[in-house]
Amino acid sequence: MATKAVAWAGDVQATAGTTMFTGADSGTWTAGPVQETVSEKLTTGNAAGSAKKVVTGATCTFTFSGKSGNLPASGTSTVQLTAGKPALTVAKDAPLVDGDSKSDTFGNELKVTAKGPLHTE
């Protein structure tokens, strides 16, 4: 089985989609801040303050601003990313791993790009 790097704080990125919000004919999506859930039980680093925590989930709310004809159109969509079938659990938490992703019907996406030193088996 191939190993995958475990996600650390900051490894989850949001990408705004390109599909129009329901009823809109023009406009754009904007990604809000990515809110990561981290494990309090597993960190890496040293006591000098460079420790990083394992990410077990992430959420981002995307905002649409556009038009439907001459009328304004707006909306939001929240994408929540959780671990799939985990090969590793820590205190009942399963970490996100490199390549994990989740998207909505508008193409808004959360994706993990991890290169950390801890890997699943």
**Interval 71-100: pLDDT, tens:** 999 999 999 999 877 666 766 778 898 999
Domain that holds residue 26: 12-42+53-112
Total structural domains within the chain: 1
Q: pTM of the prediction?
A: 0.86
- Confidence (pLDDT) at 101: 96
- The verdict on residue 117 lying in a domain is no
The reply to whether 37 falls in a domain is yes
Q: Where are the beta strands (DSSP E) in the chain?
A: 12-15, 26-31, 35-44, 52-68, 71-82, 101-103, 109-112
pLDDT of 49: 57
Q: Is residue 3 part of a domain?
A: no
Residues with pLDDT less than 70, the chain:
1-2, 44-51, 86-88, 90-91, 117-121
pLDDT of residue 86: 67
Q: What pLDDT score was predicted for residue 68?
A: 96
Q: Is residue 48 part of a domain?
A: no
- Count H helices and E strands in the chain, helices first: 0, 7
Domain presence at residue 1: no
- Give dist(CA 46, CA 92) in Å, integer: 24
